[in-house]
Structure 1
């Protein structure tokens, strides 16, 4: 696998994914019972935006950089920007938190986190970055396989009923990755039907996503919500014009939280022709 998340850390897709991730975490921690989070494609979990790979692409300037300049007055966006500030206070002015760092920041002492990364160099960095946190298990492993091994989650002999699986694959196989992710989601839901599952996906040409949407409605979940942010018109197969998250068994009122956050995200990150969308593929019953 040649993909390196470091090239894209802090871009518009990361902004959307991380705003949603923190909103889900806050919903999970609203109740006192322990929760579990699995990050299947974790990367290294902590990045530098002013050096190395991220600096070469400059994508963060068009993502988190714009949002920091705009400072939209939305609670979910503010929550994300405070997390970025906390990361920089701990790790330096050009630090950017990946999803493992945000999970560690948002979840509690009684919660448990498993992070998987298949690429050896990234996995080694992941293990080093979180070596001091007993809540986190960092693994050099295939995230899809880890879903079979780790679900349903347990803490000792106790099953954990609440939590999140975040699937953020590299989509190197292009549209074939959707089939692999949907198969993993189906099996994950069968193993842990009460869990919340979030699948991130890129948007290039929207019409290519129609089969994915149809198949998602047939997954054995109680509900299916999509949250999408486009920074450009979805009319080019040659670049990522936006991204979305498929949220299965979304927490109560998450749609209201994201419905308020998406318009100011679009306004801050729009490159011309942008849009946002929030809709139920399968409404909760």
Structure 2
């Protein structure tokens, strides 16, 4: 149950995509004066060293943030084109956790969210993590922020803990559901949690990340979320991003293990600004991170 560690995957292409979306959503939601609650049901450790034992061993950041940072370099563009706002915003965010020209630290969703929340209107960040080591690391990392009551950390099952938080006092919230999906039941729990949450708090924004892998549950999750949003007459946005297959090295079989090559984000009650932001950013991101057969991206919207 506790074998999954996000530290092995920090800064990979899925993180780049997920956090690009997260920042774009939060930029919109924090544009209103009413306090916002952000709930991360599977927060991880919060901060990761890309040169540490975990990320260094997997090397997944090489096909993600490090490849993107190298392509941009000291210039504010890619191949002569200026970075689109959402992508520039994402890179500026990650750069802010590092020394100039260095990319050793990668911020997880909790630290990205905290950077964008406002103290003057009392935004709140609620973090849940059940993995014992990651929960301890998260609490330690958050303590260094000195954010006081703005950020709370609990070693609890985020699926269950979320129920007590909805609806929030301000009636404004973003809920990020990002489990490991290592356990097949996570797919069903995500769907059940979104359904229950919408019944408790119909106007909240719910963001679900999931891996695009050859597993029936992964294929069915976005379809079931789309059906749920339709039944409740809620607007939704579904985006996917795939870097494609890595070309086989000399002497390597064509079907060699590729690892995760694609992921998706499904949002219920998304900001109206998200679709145009992604339409501009994903082609530019694919230009850098795309690597072979199957690369691409998609954006679908629907609902009320």
Same fold (TM over 0.5): yes
Cα offset, 1:6, TM superposition: 0.2
Cα 1:271–1:143 change in 2 (3 A) is same
Q: How far is 1:208 from its partner?
A: 6.0
Alignment TM-score, normalising by the size of structure 1:
0.91
Q: Is 2:280 the counterpart of 1:268? A: no
Q: CA deviation at 1:259?
A: 1.2
Structure 1 unpaired stretches of 5+: 154-158
Q: 1:268 to 1:238 in 2, by over 3 A?
A: closer
Q: Which one has a bigger Cα radius of gyration? A: 2
How much has 1:34 moved relative to structure 2?
0.8
In the alignment, is residue 230 of structure 1 matched against residue 242 of structure 2? yes
Separation (CA, whole Å) in 1 of partners of 2:84 and 2:30: 20
Correspondence list, 1:103-114, <5 A: 103-109=113-119, 110-114=122-126
- Which structure 2 residue ranges, 5 or more long, are not aligned? 73-77, 246-254
Question: What corresponds to 1:152 in structure 2?
Answer: 167
How many residues align? The count is: 276
For residue 252 of structure 1, what is the aligned residue in structure 2? 272
Q: CA RMSD in A?
A: 2.1
**Among candidates 151, 164, 167, match of residue 174 of structure 2:** 164
For 1:156, the equivalent position in structure 2 comes to none
Q: Render the CA deviation track for 1:106-133: whole Å, top value 9, x for unaligned.
A: 1111210001000111111111111221
Q: CA separation in 2, counterparts of 1:15 and 1:269?
A: 10
- Tell me if structure 1 keeps the 8 A contact 2:187–2:217: no
Question: CA offsets per residue over residues 66-117 of structure 1, 9 Å max, x none?
Answer: 1112234111011010011111149x85111000000011111121000100
Q: Helix, strand or coil: the match of 1:201?
A: strand
Q: Please state how far the C-alpha of 1:237 moved relative to its aligned partner.
A: 9.2
**Deviating more after overlay: 6-15 vs 60-69:** 60-69
Match of 2:128 among 116, 119, 125: 116
Report the TM-score, using the length of structure 2 for normalisation.
0.86
